[in-house]
Amino acid sequence: MKSIVILISGRGSNMEAIVRAAIPGARIAAVISNRPNAGGLAFAAAHGIATAVVDHTTYTDRAAFDAALAGAIDSHTPDLVVLAGFMRVLTADFVRHYEGRLINIHPSLLPSFTGLHTHRRALAAGVRVHGTTVHFVTAELDCGPIIIQAVVPVMAGDTEETLTARVLAQEHRIFPQAVCWIVEERVRIEGNMARVAGARESGVMISPPPEDV
């Protein structure tokens, strides 16, 4: 059985998707938030999962916060640590400590649109496809070997809200999938690439579709 700790900062809908997936061989040992009022904490508690809060506002610097966070995480001896809408930048030491067992979901097709406000920036850039990425975390923000991505079309008339909703629906599909692959030990890191054993490959995606497609 693989032990998983999930870190959240807010609503926690991605954490919820992972919990609901009931991945065979995985046990969600704890959900930890840096915000005491994170909505996802109630869902976790209601599902019998241990919860904890490590409130970043009570620490004087990033290193002290990360050390406290690592202490809370490590008390559960996790095989995998999952950042599910965890909105704090982590120190290099923290990332190194969890090297190869720390993953994140980012709401863009990395390496495009690292950082914040990804959907707004995708609309402003006029891209025709957008999406979301699950990747291993490395010291550089929103970098690291990509495990899975989902692509969605950007449609005429999209607003930040409609595009966000379209991406979020796909996040709820690919994040549990990535966790499942890791639990099944099918994911191998090779340099800056993550290889997934036995993953199916599919054809081209075009947006907007030309008339003859």
Among 30, 34, 35, 107, binds ligand GAR (CB under 6 A): 107
Binding residue for ligand GAR (CB under 6 A) from 10, 78, 145, 153? 10
Closest approach, Cβ 209 to ligand GAR, in A, equals 26
Shortest distance in whole angstroms from residue 177 CB to ligand GAR: 15
Strand, helix or coil for residue 103: strand
130 pairs with which residues across the strands?
Answer: 152
Instruction: Give the nearer residue to ligand GAR in terms of CB position, either 76 or 135.
Output: 135
CB neighbours of 4 closer than 8 A, spacing ≥ 6?
18, 26, 27, 28, 29, 78, 79, 80, 81, 82, 179, 183
Contact residue for ligand GAR among 18, 19, 49, 84 (CB under 6 A): 84
User: Which lies closer to ligand GAR via its Cβ, residue 1 or residue 151?
Assistant: 151
Q: Which stretch binds ligand GAR (CB under 6 A): 5-13, 63-71, 144-152, 203-211?
A: 5-13
- Residue selected from 5, 6, 13, 109 as contacting ligand GAR according to rule CB under 6 A: 13
Residue, CB closest to ligand GAR: 85
Q: Which is nearer to ligand GAR, 8 or 163 (CB)?
A: 8
Catalytic residue among 56, 76, 106, 130: 106
Q: Is 56 in the active site?
A: no
- 108-167 positions binding ligand GAR, by CB under 6 A: 132
Tell me whether the omega of the peptide bond preceding residue 208 falls within 30 degrees of 0, making it cis. Answer: yes
Nearer to ligand GAR, 76 or 130 (CB): 130
Asked if residues 170 and 152 have their Cβ atoms less than 8 Å apart, the reply is: yes
Task: Using alpha carbons only, give the angle 120, 125, 126 rounded to the nearest 5 degrees.
Answer: 100
C-alpha 194/C-alpha 13 separation (Å) is 25
Tokens at 4, concatenated = 């998983």
CA dist 131 and 143 (Å) reads 16
CA angle 131, 99, 176 (to 5 degrees): 40
Q: Does 14 bind ligand GAR (CB under 6 A)?
A: yes
Whether the Cβ atoms of residue 3 and residue 76 lie closer than 8 Å to each other: yes
* Residues near ligand GAR (CB under 6 A): 8, 10-14, 84-85, 105-107, 132, 168, 171
Query: Any idea which residues carry the catalytic annotation?
Result: 106
